[in-house]
Chains A and B, each alone.
Chain A
Amino acid sequence: MLKQENKTDVIVVGAGPAGISCAITIARSGKEVVLIERGLFAGSKNVFGGAIYTQPTKEIFPNFEQEAPVERCTVKHNFAILGEVDSTTISYRKNDNTSYSVIRGKFDRWAAEEARKAGVYLVEETVVRELIKQKNKVIGVKTELEDFYADIVILADGVNSLLAKQVGLRKAIETKDVALSVKEVIKLDKDVINQRFNVKDNEGVITEIFGGSMLGVLGLGFMYTNKESVTIGLGITLNELVDSKISPYEYLENLKQQPSIAPLIEGGELKEYSAHLIPEGGYRKIPKLVDNGVMIVGDAAMLVNNLHWEGTNLAMISGKLAAETAIDALDNNDFSKKMLSLYERKLKESFVLKDMKTYRDLMSVMHSRKMAFLSYYFKKINAFFEMFTSVDSVPKKENFRKFIKSIFTDRSIVELFKDCFAILRLLWSILL
């Protein structure tokens, strides 16, 4: 039972990785926290590509590798560059435990149950419709049924975060700042997966897919192996979808038919189709993270490092840092923006905002040079291997010369120069 009816120390909105990590950290400190989830259960509205990362997850759940419902431990990362009819794949294998594939419907539910055991009041099937403000401070939330009050409200309500928008912490999202992702979980026998992906039971593979049905558009595909299913999906920046006039599921159907992908999922049965937005606005589109009585974490704060396929880790750590700040604020009985800006400082000192800042120019470069970096060079990589592996009684020297010449004739020198400049600019922003 809560100490007071309808009033608590902290309300966290949204039971995803950010919200759960935040709530459990607060509960472990002995503070009272209510976690409100709009779905039937935690995880029921949540979708992602496929893997959680061991080190950050352990910061919240030290024994999750033994206790949580994980699928397969990633031992192999494939990078597949698809041309129009061919593909080149780089594969990195190491038998360690950097990440695990999980099914969110199971994992998030387990994590929320752990939070409940730690003392979090988990309220499911409840939509927070708006934040309640009094004298410039957020003091609670309005749900469909009743109002709840708290000293601090933490928004972990996901990429759409209508609540952050409502209280003016962020502007309307633009189509170039989100990717729409669609994915399918395809049922396959465990042995079939092991054989097709060259792994043993409980060993998994992550495949990042470039090009293919997405040549020249700002999109990436992915595959993850689960125990008895394979996930395949893709994410395409929303403005690209709008411009291309092609439905996201058509891109996915096309990807599934690529010669290097199709045999991997052949004979599988579709278990579930799903879709979700991915925040891709990057560092410059991060909203105001705090205001009086309120903080924003996870996807709601646009914390996604798309180049490295990281999101759940940024969510968990941002949730944890917001929780630590909330605990300090409660101890000082100070819920002002000034006090809560400690969260922003902690984020800045952590890898979270450092990484976001490192890649601050990535998306703008990609948007402006997509035909180069997401089409031309992918095709050239494949063309190189096509040339290198061809046996056609043409002297090799001629083939090499022809290939090198094609780089300079298939694309204008000015464009090639611009590509080099873009890469240098990007490297400059990343490394310095």
Chain B
Amino acid sequence: MNIDKKLYTLKYSSDTESHLKIPDKEKCRLCVSKNCTYICPAKVYEWNSDRQEIIINYENCLECGACRIACEKKAIDWEYPKGTKGVTFKQG
């Protein structure tokens, strides 16, 4: 089963603004591993080679915090979504 189908099982309330930000995109261009693109359990981060930047699908975020710790350039500004926003786990 692919990751998109897995994410369909979740209830989200998306904010209009991302709670995940990369203020300095140059850091991503210099990053060799780009580990955010494969460690994220919700595939939030995708490298766009045309635009030479990471696309952040923040609406899919499971709020685990792995990217914040794993990012070797410490490029991600990571905070929790607003109180009424983000993912809701019914099972947990």
Contact = CB atoms under 8 A, between A and B. Distances in A.
Contact of A44 (B7, B40, B69, B88): B88
Nearest to B61: A275
Contacts of A277: 64-66, 69
Contacts, number: 125
B35 A242 contact: yes
Contacts of A270: 1, 5-6, 9
Contacts of B10: 272-274
Given A241-B39, A245-B38, A144 B69 contact: no
Contact of A125 (B1, B35, B84): B84
B17 to A, nearest CB: 13
A259 to B, nearest CB: 18
A105 interface: yes
If over half of B's interface residues share one DSSP class (helix, strand or loop), that class is named, otherwise mixed; here it is loop
Interface string B1-22: 1010111011001000000000
B70 A105 contact: no
Interface residues of B, number: 37
Interface string B49-92: 00000000000001111101110000000011111101111111
A95 to B, nearest CB: 26
A4 interface: no
B79 A162 contact: yes
A103 B92 CA distance: 6
A184 interface: yes
Contact of B89 (A160, A229, A272): A272
Contacts of B62: 274-276
Nearest to A159: B65
A277 B69 CA distance: 10
A45 B81 CA distance: 11
Interface stretch (A175-183, A287-295, A315-323, A330-338): A175-183
A108 interface: yes
Interface string A365-385: 000000000000000000000
A290 to B, nearest CB: 24
B70 A242 contact: yes
Interface of A: 38-40, 43-48, 103-105, 108, 124-127, 129, 143-144, 159-160, 162, 172-175, 178, 180, 182, 184-185, 229, 231, 238, 241-242, 245-249, 253, 270-277
The 5 nearest A-B residue pairs measured at CB: A104-B92, A275-B41, A273-B6, A125-B83, A160-B65
